[in-house]
Amino acid sequence: MPTFAYIARDPAGERVVGQLDCPNQQAALAELQTKGLAPVRLNAVATRVRRRRAISTRRLASAYGQLADLLRAGVPLLRALRLLGGSRADPRLAAVMTAVADAIADGDRLADAMAQHPDVFPPVQVAMVRAGERGAFLDQVLERLAVFIAHQAEMRSKVIGNLIYPVILLVAGVSIVVAAMIFFVPRFKGFIDKGMELPLPTRLLLGTSDLLVNHWLLVLVALGFLAGGMVWLWRHPPVRRQLAVWQLRIPLVGTLVRSLCAARFSRVLGTMLGNGIPMLQAMRIARDAAGHALLEDAVDEATDAMRAGESLAGPLGSSGFLDAGVIEMIAVGESANNLPAVLVAVADTLEKRIDQMLALVIRLMEPLLLLILAGVVVFIFIALIVPMMQLSSSL
């Protein structure tokens, strides 16, 4: 809840300074009046944003669906929000719904009350709710929001689920190699004659093992600096844009990333247009949801072109980010005045293609990781066996 700092005068004319926690400025003024204070100055205080655990996307989708059902059943909005606020399934979501209900009780509209919680309600959801309020079809918008969010959660779970096994395999492989370097390789140092001329693989292996065993703190510090440097570089737009360009050049991975971003952009834009959001506002929100610097640049160019009266398909096609088939479908949707449905259909098509590409990438990653792990194990074996064979031959 926002905090307001005030300077006021009491009935005796004395100066009073303090702070109030109120949903909005009108509520703060009313609170001062009930205390018998005449406000002289009232300003919102910037409060430190505290990190909270994210609310489950599926829980939020379920809440939208319940709210739509209650509104269709004739339950007033405020009472419906109070009912959701009393739920014990997710206390964090219940607390947010209670805060939204309090803001509506103080005179705010639903979209404005939701906008006070940007960590829970993204701009795309707030914009759709605002359009539903203005068009008097809020229950329909909430139902579509429930379907939209549930679909996003399902798509995200598919991607994450397909990557679980390769990540586990990668972590297990790295752990095995590190454990071998720390516990297994040092035991062979005593069997190797220090006066021998060791081959290069053996010197590399023993040097790496010594670094991990005797200088592990230095290794951790170096990894920390490396991670910090990568984060620092990622925050610079030119570096991030160049990394985005290189990302698209990776075989299979580039195609997969391109399809994921295009599907996300198409679904968000199509869903918003289908719920009455103006085109330019929907483009701005869909741009932020795209998740790729090159696609964001293409959307910016398309937005500027549409302000000048051009179509959407032309500028997006000139960017080269979207496939020719996708651009053709968008052009047909614009000419037929059916762009929202076409964009959703494009998203469905791309997501089916993503499922196929994910299955192919996973099938290729599993043997590739196994081959890399086997290669490292063979390298360790050869690096240790070669000097032992040299020693036995000299004896």
18 and 72 co-located in one domain: no
Q: Quote the tokens at residue 118.
A: 């940007």
Whether residue 76 is found in the same domain as residue 36:
no
DSSP 249: T
Mean pLDDT, range 233-250, rounded to an integer: 79
User: Mind giving me the DSSP string for 65-98?
Assistant: HHHHHHHHTT--HHHHHHHHHT-SS-HHHHHHHH
> Has residue 105 been placed in a domain?
yes
SS3 43: strand
Assess whether 18 and 103 both reside in one domain.
no
Quick one: 127 and 221 in the same domain?
Answer: no
Query: How many CA atoms, within 13 angstroms, populate the side-chain half-sphere of residue 177?
Result: 19
Six token digits for residue 157: 């779970």
Domain with residue 119: its CATH number is 1.20.81.30
Of the pLDDT bands very low, low, confident and very high (cuts 50, 70, 90), residue 48 is very low
Structure tokens, 172: 């297990």
193 pLDDT higher than 60: no
CA-angle at 129, arms to 352 and 155, nearest 5°: 20
How does 8-39 read in b/e, with b if 16+ C-beta sit within 10 Å?
beeeeeeebeeebebbbeebbbebbeeeebeb
Choosing from 152, 169, 185, the residue where a domain stops is 152
pLDDT in tens, 218-239: 889 999 999 888 888 777 777 7
Same domain, 235 and 373: yes
Which of 152, 168, 186 represents a domain boundary (last residue)? 152
Number of domains in the chain: 3
Residue positions counted in the chain: 395
Q: Is the pLDDT of residue 202 over 50?
A: yes
* Co-location of 83 and 198 in the same domain: no
Residue 53 above 60 pLDDT? no
Predicted confidence (pLDDT) per residue in 5-33, tens digit: 777 777 777 777 777 777 667 777 777 77
Are 39 and 70 in contact by the 8 Å Cβ rule? The answer is no
Is 258 part of a structural domain of the chain? yes
The pLDDT tens digits for 151-177 are 878 878 877 887 888 888 888 888 888
**Least trusted range by pLDDT, from 51-55, 189-193, 218-222:** 51-55
Q: What is the pLDDT of residue 51?
A: 42
C-alpha span between 165 and 252 (Å, rounded): 18
Highest-pLDDT range among 223-232, 237-246, 384-393: 223-232
Residues 275 and 139 in one domain: no
Claim to verify: residue 190 and residue 324 sit in the same structural domain: yes
Does 368 reside within a domain?
A: yes
pLDDT value of position 221: 92
Q: Which of 152, 175, 190 is the last residue of a domain?
A: 152
Give me the pLDDT at residue 306, please.
84
User: In the predicted model, what is the mean pLDDT of residues 356-363?
Assistant: 81
Task: Please state, in angstroms and rounded to a whole number, the distance separating the CA atoms of residues 89 and 92.
Answer: 9
Q: How far apart are CA 355 and CA 89, in angstroms?
A: 32
**pLDDT at residue 145 above 60?**
yes
pLDDT tens for residues 97-112? 888 888 888 888 888 8
Mean pLDDT for the stretch of residues 332-345: 87
User: Quick one: pLDDT at residue 47?
Assistant: 46
The Cα 116–Cα 102 span in angstroms is: 12
For residues 135 and 269, membership in a common domain is answered with no
pLDDT digit string (tens) for 285-328? 888 777 778 888 888 888 888 888 888 888 888 878 888 888 88
For the entire predicted model, the pTM comes to 0.65
Confidence band for 46, pLDDT divided at 50, 70 and 90: very low
C-alpha 102/C-alpha 105 separation (Å) is 5
pLDDT band at 138 (very low <50, low <70, confident <90, very high): confident
Flag whether 50 is in a domain.
Answer: no
Tokens of 187: 């035991």
User: Is pLDDT of 212 > 80?
Assistant: yes
Residue 14 CA: distances (Å) to CA of 17, 32, 37, 147: 10, 14, 10, 57
Structural domain span for residue 201: 160-395
Is there a single domain that holds both residue 22 and residue 70? Answer: no
> In Å, how far are 196, 207, 282, 350 from 219, measured between CA atoms?
28, 13, 48, 43
> Residue 171 corresponds to which tokens in the numbers above?
């972590």
State the DSSP code for 7. Answer: E
Cα four-point dihedral sign 153, 157, 159, 160: positive
State residue 387's pLDDT score. Answer: 76
Considering the domain architecture, whether residues 263 and 357 belong to the same structural domain is answered as yes
**Which amino acid, one-letter code, is at 49?**
V
pLDDT averaged over every residue in the chain: 81
Q: How far apart are CA 170 and CA 355, in angstroms?
A: 22
134 with 191, same domain: the answer is no
How far apart CA 342 and CA 339 sit, in angstroms, is 5
